[in-house]
């Protein structure tokens, strides 16, 4: 990672997210494109008795009106108390760059027919090598030191591990992802009533594992699925309720998925119509929904 950052030649800013205080940069390392994301680490006083744990150093008051004070401060930082999280994609493909570039969004209405015509071919093109990182976690021992729970059963098995987005420190921004072993579920559309016992078991195992390790109750956790996801291999997001949901236009809570499947029967979500938004440069918009009008 060090050598990638030191060789990184900045070209442009793809996006900035003021709310989560992050910036996404596009540049080159040697002759290949790279995307670097820098995100300020969340404040955390987990378990500490006083605010010295925050590491505030110098403080300067800038303004003051009645009971309202405003100022700036510096904070101690080192690798145990880092100021930023860094994610790099290198080499980055055009699909990665599209995904991270700030774009106008469009609302789409995905009927069962448009799913078959536009979305299913797109999903097929997004399997294989693009989800290599998933197979690395499932079968090649990647990120093994962080795995909270692993069950290798080819049907019911899964790996529960911290999502890339979690800083691994702050409990209130806890973010896990449960990636399943089976590869016959590409998205929400592939779920039907036969999956109810499977999903119910998955939910219980995830909740118990998080409770045992972090003491968080099911009422403090959000378990949900994205549609469209970025990666078409079934996975469940597990976050602390305090964490603002980001990234995807449409997410559905696992509890609601399980409940709806009881009514949807063996056809499952294949007959549903979904409304969600996607970026204008997303292939599903540019090469799909935009041409339907
Ligand atoms: O939007 P979608 O449902 O496809 O979300 C995929 C999730 O996987 C996101 O929350 C990503 O942050 C997470 N993720 C992506 N990659 C490439 C990795 C990775 O290499 N390791 C881990 N632990 N999480 C990842």
Top mutation candidate among 231, 244, 252 for ligand 1, by most atoms within 8 Å of CB: 231
User: Is 227 assigned a ligand-binding role in the annotation?
Assistant: yes
Q: Output the pTM of the full model.
A: 0.84
Ligand 1: does its nearest atom lie under 6 Å from the Cβ of 283?
no
Whether residue 165 has its Cβ less than 6 Å from ligand 1: yes
pLDDT at 205: 98
Residue ending a domain, choose from 71, 100, 129: 100
* pLDDT tens digits for range 114-144: 999 999 999 999 988 889 999 999 999 999 9
Residue 235 annotated as catalytic: yes
Distance in angstroms (rounded) separating the CA atoms of residues 96 and 93? 5
- Boundary of a domain, candidates 74, 100, 126: 100
234-245 pLDDT, tens digit each: 999 999 998 865
- Indicate the number of domains in the chain: 2
- What average pLDDT does this structure show over 262-271? 96
**Which of 15-29, 44-58, 260-274 shows the lowest per-residue confidence on average (mean pLDDT)?**
44-58
Same domain, 4 and 57: yes
Q: Is the CB of 134 under 6 A from ligand 1?
A: no
Say whether both 92 and 110 belong to one domain.
no
53 pLDDT band (50/70/90 cuts)? confident
Determine phi and psi for 160, rounding to 5 degrees.
Answer: -105, 115
Same structural domain for residues 109 and 87? Answer: no
Average pLDDT score over the chain: 92
Residues 207 and 282 in one domain: yes
Do 270 and 213 lie in one domain? The reply is: yes
The reply to whether 89 and 132 lie within a common domain is no
Task: Identify the domain boundary among 57, 73, 100.
Answer: 100
Encode burial over 120-141: b for 16+ CB neighbours within 10 A, e otherwise. eebbeebeeebbeebeebbeee
pLDDT of 2: 87
- Closest C-alpha to ligand 1, atom 14: 164
209/263 same-domain check: yes
Ligand 1: residue whose CA is nearest its atom 23: 163
269 with 283, same domain: the answer is yes
Tell which one of 230, 233, 245 to mutate to probe ligand 1, the residue whose CB is within 8 A of the most ligand atoms.
230
**Are 139 and 18 part of one and the same domain?**
no
Q: At 44, is the secondary structure helix, strand, or coil?
A: coil
Q: What is the CATH number of the domain that holds 15?
A: 3.30.200.40
- Residues 136, 264, single domain; the answer is yes
Mean pLDDT across 218-238: 95
Q: Could you list the residue range(s) of the whole structural domain that residue 67 is in? A: 1-100
Of residues 103 and 255, more confidence is placed in 255
- Residue whose CA is at the smallest distance from ligand 1 atom 19: 164
Do 163 and 88 sit in the same domain of this protein?
no
Q: Does the pLDDT value for residue 219 go beyond 60? A: yes
Regarding whether 214 and 153 lie in a shared domain, the answer is: yes
Tell whether the model's pLDDT for residue 57 goes beyond 80.
Answer: yes
Answer whether 164 contacts ligand 1 (Cβ < 6 A): yes
């Amino acid at each position: 990672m060090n050598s990638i950052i030191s060789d990184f030649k900045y070209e442009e800013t793809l996006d900035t997210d003021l709310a989560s205080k992050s910036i996404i940069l596009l540049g080159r390392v040697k002759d290949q494109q790279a995307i670097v994301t820098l995100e300020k680490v969340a404040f955390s006083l987990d378990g500490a008795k006083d605010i010295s744990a925050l590491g505030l150093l110098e403080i300067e008051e800038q303004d003051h009106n009645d009971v309202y004070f405003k100022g700036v401060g510096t904070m101690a930082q080192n690798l145990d108390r880092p100021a930023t999280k860094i994610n790099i994609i290198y080499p980055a493909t055009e699909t990665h760059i599209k995904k991270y570039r700030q774009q106008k969004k469009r609302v789409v209405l995905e009927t069962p027919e448009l799913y078959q015509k536009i979305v299913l071919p797109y999903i097929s093109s997004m399997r294989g090598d693009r989800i290599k990182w998933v197979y690395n976690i499932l079968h090649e021992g990647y990120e093994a030191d962080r795995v909270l729970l692993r069950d290798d059963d080819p049907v019911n098995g899964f790996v529960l591990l911290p999502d890339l987005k979690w800083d691994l420190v702050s409990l209130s921004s806890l973010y896990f992802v449960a990636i399943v072993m089976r590869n016959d579920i590409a998205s929400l559309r592939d779920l039907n009533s036969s999956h109810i016992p499977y999903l119910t078991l998955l939910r219980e195992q995830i909740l118990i594992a998080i409770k045992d390790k972090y003491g968080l109750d099911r009422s403090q956790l959000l378990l949900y699925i994205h549609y469209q996801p970025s990666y078409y291999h079934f996975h469940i997001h597990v976050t602390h309720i305090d964490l603002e949901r980001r990234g995807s236009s449409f997410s559905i809570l696992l509890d609601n998925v399980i409940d709806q499947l009881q009514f949807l029967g063996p056809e499952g979500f294949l007959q549903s119509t979904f409304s969600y938004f996607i970026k204008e440069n997303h292939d599903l918009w540019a090469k799909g929904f935009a041409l339907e009008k």
